[in-house]
Amino acid sequence: GFAHEKGIRTSINSNLNVTLSNETVWNNTHKLGAKLFKISGIVVLIGLFFPDFGLLFFVFLMIFISIFLMIFSYFDFKKQKK
């Protein structure tokens, strides 16, 4: 998918710059990210039925998924180092 091709960068600081330093972590993060963003696209369609909250719902999902993927990649990196 598009998200997998373009890449998700986990680089808030040097301690979280883990997706760039490990090919397995990069692939795992992108596989999960592609699935989550596709699912969120479908879920956001529910926002069409709630026009007052649709944008808020979309923004919350994008922020949540982005933070989740940063945390996921960090722990996956730690797991790969063992």
> What would the mean pLDDT of 62-69 be, rounded to a whole number?
94
Tokens (6 digits) for 77: 């990196």
pLDDT at res. 9: 54
Q: What pTM was computed for the model?
A: 0.74
pLDDT at res. 16: 52
Tokens (6 digits) for 6: 């373009």
pLDDT at res. 12: 47
DSSP the chain: -HHHHH-----SSGGG--TTT-HHHHHHHHHHHHHHHHHHHHHHGGGGG-TTTHHHHHHHHHHHHHHHHHHHHHHHHHHHH-
Tokens (6 digits) for 36: 């989550």
Position 4 pLDDT exceeds 80: no
